[in-house]
């Protein structure tokens, strides 16, 4: 039988790429499923739950050795990567456009690597495979909760015998999948919410959630529905216009990304300096490359001299590990279903409009055009 394996993630990652539920469906579809011991622990899926679903719990080496397809959340570390053999398929958030050394190592080893960052977003057949959307949606939801939990005032307006509390004002910078979910969640908590993006098309989506859209003086529509990178002048202009918006809000949630590039700095130090004491910034773009908020640090909360807090929250999906894993695993299953024939054999058609983009490397070649452009 064709063997699907999943590994235990390293570091602070709580998610797992295959759940018991998806194991059951794969087994039903004639696959054999191997789970590295403890892989689901941090997402509250026990080894026994996988066994009950028809999977087998094995060592990491066995999961790697026997697999036809290895599903992961993040790019495995180098020691693990070096054990993946020619012809094996690796699928996950491999960071193809950023971690180019890792992807080139996989190419050299003749691994077939599918990197979810490369999935075309606008082809309808690919929507069920869209890990970026499923995980961004979770991160946006959690960002609003983290902000509400950190803020020292109410989110909703409260009229009580002891007086009236004003509602919190929340600004969301970057209104893609994560930003829209943050807006919806903050609205449900009763805050007054506005959104800002450099893609004018997002106005309608923001307004349909009952939030105000703040018009950007810059239009930066790029390819494939994404934003393009701003020029240095545009970036300066943007920061100046944003300082005014930021000052009027209590909470700023930032989600701006440009694929394969360092996240744009939207909240400069000058904006932090004039923020009201008690203000909360939640930076979903916080990473080792930098983030949207000056001074944000991945996985850390920084207190500023002006009495604001900056929360570096680059991996919030991991904090909702069970829901995030369930969705991730369904996205993986959709890819497997797409590749499998009736006998559960996996065939990758590199001419196909989805696979020609999702596949980063195959037989030692770089397949994705976007990746090829990034490597040059």
**Binding residues for ligand NAD, per CB under 6 A?**
121-122, 127, 130, 132-133, 136, 173-179, 197-199, 202, 225-227, 230, 255-259, 264, 266
Instruction: Please state, in angstroms and rounded to a whole number, the distance separating the CA atoms of residues 322 and 320.
Output: 6
Distance of closest approach, residue 67 Cβ to ligand NAD, in angstroms: 29
Catalytic option among 127, 128, 229, 237: 127
User: Closest-CB residue for ligand NAD?
Assistant: 176
Distance of closest approach, residue 242 Cβ to ligand NAD, in angstroms: 8
Instruction: Please state, in angstroms and rounded to a whole number, the distance separating the CA atoms of residues 221 and 74.
Output: 29
Angle at 195 between CA 192 and CA 198, to 5 degrees: 170
Q: What is the dihedral of CA 274, 246, 305, 291, to 10 degrees?
A: -140
323 catalytic per annotation: no
How many Cβ atoms from other residues are within 10 Å of residue 236's Cβ? 12
- In the complex with ligand NAD, which residue's Cβ is closer, 68 or 323? 323
- In the complex with ligand NAD, which residue's Cβ is closer, 69 or 198? 198
127 catalytic per annotation: yes
Record the tokens describing residue 341, joined without a space: 């024939």
Residues forming beta bridges with residue 227, ordered by sequence position:
221
Distance of closest approach, residue 163 Cβ to ligand NAD, in angstroms: 37
Contact yes or no for 331/71 (Cβ under 8 A): no
Distance of closest approach, residue 191 Cβ to ligand NAD, in angstroms: 20
Handedness of CA 26, 31, 32, 34 (dihedral sign): negative
Is residue 254 within a helix (H) or strand (E), and if so which, with residue range?
strand 251-254
- In the complex with ligand NAD, which residue's Cβ is closer, 266 or 359? 266
Instruction: Please state, in angstroms and rounded to a whole number, the distance separating the CA atoms of residues 297 and 283.
Output: 9
Closest to 41 in 3D by CA, of 299, 321, 307: 321
Distance of closest approach, residue 152 Cβ to ligand NAD, in angstroms: 28
82 catalytic per annotation: no
- In the complex with ligand NAD, which residue's Cβ is closer, 136 or 308? 136
- In the complex with ligand NAD, which residue's Cβ is closer, 38 or 224? 224
Q: Which residues are catalytic?
A: 121, 127, 130, 133, 226
């Amino acid at each position: 039988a064709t063997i699907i394996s999943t590994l235990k993630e390293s570091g602070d990652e709580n998610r797992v790429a295959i759940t018991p539920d998806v194991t059951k469906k794969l087994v039903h579809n004639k696959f054999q499923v191997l789970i590295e011991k403890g892989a689901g622990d941090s997402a509250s899926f026990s080894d026994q739950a996988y066994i009950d679903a028809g999977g087998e719990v094995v060592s990491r080496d066995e999961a790697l050795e026997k697999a036809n397809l290895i599903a992961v959340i993040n790019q495995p570390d180098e020691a693990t990567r070096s054990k993946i053999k020619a012809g094996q398929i690796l699928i996950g958030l491999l960071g193809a456009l950023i971690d180019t050394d890792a992807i080139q190592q996989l190419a050299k080893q003749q691994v077939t690597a599918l990197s979810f960052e490369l999935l075309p977003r606008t082809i309808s057949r690919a929507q069920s495979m869209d890990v970026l959307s499923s995980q961004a949606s979770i991160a946006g939801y959690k960002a609003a909760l983290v902000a509400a939990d950190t803020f020292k005032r109410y989110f909703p307006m409260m009229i009580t015998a002891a007086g009236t509390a004003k509602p919190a004002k929340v600004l969301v910078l970057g209104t893609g999948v994560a930003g829209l979910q943050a807006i919806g969640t903050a609205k449900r908590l009763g805050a007054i919410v506005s959104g800002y993006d450099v893609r004018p098309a997002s106005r309608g989506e923001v307004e349909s959630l009952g939030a105000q859209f703040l018009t950007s003086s810059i239009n930066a529509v790029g390819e494939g529905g994404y934003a393009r990178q701003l020029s240095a002048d545009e970036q300066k202009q943007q920061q100046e216009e944003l300082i005014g918006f930021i000052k009027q809000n209590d909470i700023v949630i930032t989600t701006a990304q440009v694929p394969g590039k360092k996240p744009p700095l939207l909240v400069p130090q000058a904006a932090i300096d004039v923020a009201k004491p008690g203000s909360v910034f939640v930076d979903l773009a916080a990473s080792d490359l930098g983030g949207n908020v000056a001074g944000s640090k991945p996985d850390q909360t920084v207190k500023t001299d002006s009495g604001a807090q900056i929360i570096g929250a680059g991996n919030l999906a991991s904090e909702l590990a069970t829901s995030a894993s369930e969705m991730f695993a369904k996205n993986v299953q959709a890819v497997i279903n797409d590749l499998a024939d009736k006998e559960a054999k996996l065939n990758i058609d590199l001419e196909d409009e989805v696979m020609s983009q999702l596949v980063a490397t195959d037989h030692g070649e770089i397949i994705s055009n976007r990746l090829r452009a990034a490597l040059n």
